[in-house]
Amino acid sequence: MFPDLTCDDIFRLETKRLWLRWPRACDAPAIKSFASLPEAARMTAAIPHPYPAGEAERFIFRARADNANGEALVLVVAQKSGARQVIGLVSATLSEAGEIDLGFMVAPGLWCRGYATEAVRALVEALFALTGAERILANARTENPASRRVLEKCGFAYVDSGLDLLPARGGLHACHRFQLTRKRWAASRLSPRLPKMTHQAPDSTAAILELEPQSQA
């Protein structure tokens, strides 16, 4: 599903304020700093709490292996300014049905600043541009309206609600389910304000998708 372009760790995405890139070993302390927080972990399906020793390092190893094998696209979200601090994660993984499931999280201390929306938009653009996926799936816990707003601002449509398995949360939990179809995504790009998305300088050694600034949410 994921092309050779994303299977090399030089792959990255750029937005107005963020770099989305492969995780590195040196990112472990930053990832642990927010993934270990209970308010962050409880909204996810896969992040355990309490956060075990060495979990960030194991996550990075798995993410890099899955990226290299073309089985997923897992990226850290880093600020472009200052120390380029890692502040979150985005992921695209294959479901059992062969469709793309999208996930995202941002450090709680940076919620409500539009970072999640900015990162998700960038990943969605890359997924539809670089894969043949006809739709992208996502869900949000019913007690997590902030994630629902992020998905809606990125064009996702509500499908239904139900109990979904969240392994790290110990079972089934009520979730809202969303999808973004290629047709809906393409229609949203008919606005003349939207730029040509894909660009790579001929002499560039890094694969980059450049996105014009989007409205912050």
> What is the DSSP annotation of 125-141?
HHHHHHS--SEEEEEEE
pLDDT digits 0-9 by tens, 146-168:
999 999 999 999 999 999 989 88
Tell whether the model's pLDDT for residue 209 goes beyond 60: no
Under CATH, what is the fold of the domain 4-210?
Answer: Aminopeptidase (3.40.630)
8 Å CB contact between 102 and 1: no
Across residues 62-91, what is the average pLDDT?
95
Q: Report pLDDT for 190.
A: 66
Tell whether the model's pLDDT for residue 144 goes beyond 80: yes
In the chain, what is the straight-line distance between the N-terminal and C-terminal CA atoms, in Å?
30
Show me where the domains of the chain are located: 4-210
Q: Read off φ and ψ for residue 158, nearest 5 degrees.
A: -65, 135
Q: Report pLDDT for 189.
A: 80
Model pTM score:
0.86
Q: Work out the pLDDT band at 84, boundaries 50, 70, 90.
A: confident
Tell whether the model's pLDDT for residue 85 goes beyond 50: yes
Burial 95-129 (b: 16+ CB within 10 A, else e): eeeeebbbbbbbbeebeeebbbbbbbbbbbbbbbe
Across residues 28-42, what is the average pLDDT?
95
